[in-house]
Amino acid sequence: MNKVLLIADSGSTKTDWLYVSSDGSQTELHTDGINPARDARDNIYNVLYHDLLTQLPQSKGLQAVYFYGAGCIEPFSQSVKSALEELFPECHIEVESDLLGAARAVCGHEPGIACILGTGSNSCLYDGKDIVKHTSPLGYILGDEGSGSYLGKMLLNGLFKGKLPETLKEKFCNKFNLSLSDIIERVYRKPAANAFLASLVPFIVENRANPAIHDMLVEAFRLFINRNIAVYGHKEMPINCVGGIAYQFKAELTEAIVSEGRQMGRIMRRPIEAIAQYYAKRL
């Protein structure tokens, strides 16, 4: 008989949960996001108690909870672990970073290079069980190359510094009705500037056939490889990615990887089902 598991893949806005029953069947659940680097322990507990427990098929018989999330590094991860231990006192509890979850999803039990390309970006060298080398992404101001926020920043820079065609600038201004002063306000004076920048990605998707946008995308992904992946060495290892940006721009990402003499590996929009497979093979 298989173990009854609960697996979480959590971001700042939402958490995907997968309840795996003893017969191997799976039930997917969703709650608000949990990020212990941002959220107080009481807020985390409230999401788990009021949002998660009401959806669980049953908590009786649950044997293990594996939680992978943004902000789940020491000491912040302890607040998630203690809340889970209070709600599921008989369970084995593990709380790990979303990056380790991504690595276990795309690499399984084999060594490899794993990346996250979503609103932000991240990467690591993985030995088949744990992260053995990591390049700090430095966040959307200092880094996050290849991410949604970085693409939004490149788009605005290109439009308002004349590096992208004037027709694109006119199209952008008509679509969003944003002046340059409005953009400065959103980026420098209002909260969640990274989310605002990433919210411009649909415009990039709409215009990805434009050669200038295509070149911008490939440049962004080449920067991601050179500033984050190259330090790991191991050019023989494929580059595996999870996240909406990697999934949406698979063609441009692949072009960038090949142009850097690397191999494209697995690309997943969401890692949670593959994380479940990781535990199914381990148990």
pTM, full prediction: 0.89
Q: Are the C-beta atoms of residues 115 and 131 closer than 8 Å to each other?
A: no
Task: Phi first, then psi: give them for residue 36, nearest 5 degrees.
Answer: -65, -15
What local confidence, expressed as pLDDT, does residue 282 receive? 65
Residues comprising the chain, all counted: 283
Per-residue pLDDT tens, the chain, 283 aa: give them. Answer: 478 999 999 987 789 999 999 888 899 999 999 999 888 999 999 999 999 999 998 777 899 999 999 889 889 999 999 999 999 999 999 999 999 999 999 999 999 999 999 989 999 999 999 999 999 998 889 999 999 999 999 999 999 999 999 999 999 999 999 989 999 999 999 988 998 999 999 999 999 999 999 999 999 999 999 999 999 999 999 999 999 999 999 999 999 999 999 999 999 998 999 999 898 776 5
Indicate the residue type of 274. Answer: A
Are 143 and 227 a contacting pair, CB within 8 Å?
yes
DSSP per-residue letters across 79-118: HHHHHHHHH-TTSEEEEEEHHHHHHHHHHTTS-EEEEEES
Tell me the DSSP string of 193-251: HHHHHHTTHHHHHHTTTSHHHHHHHHHHHHHHIIIIIGGG--TTS-EEEESHHHHHTHH
Q: What is the DSSP letter of 54?
A: T
pLDDT of residue 1: 44
Residue 283 confidence (pLDDT): 55
Give bridge partners of residue 17 from the DSSP assignment.
Answer: 8, 29
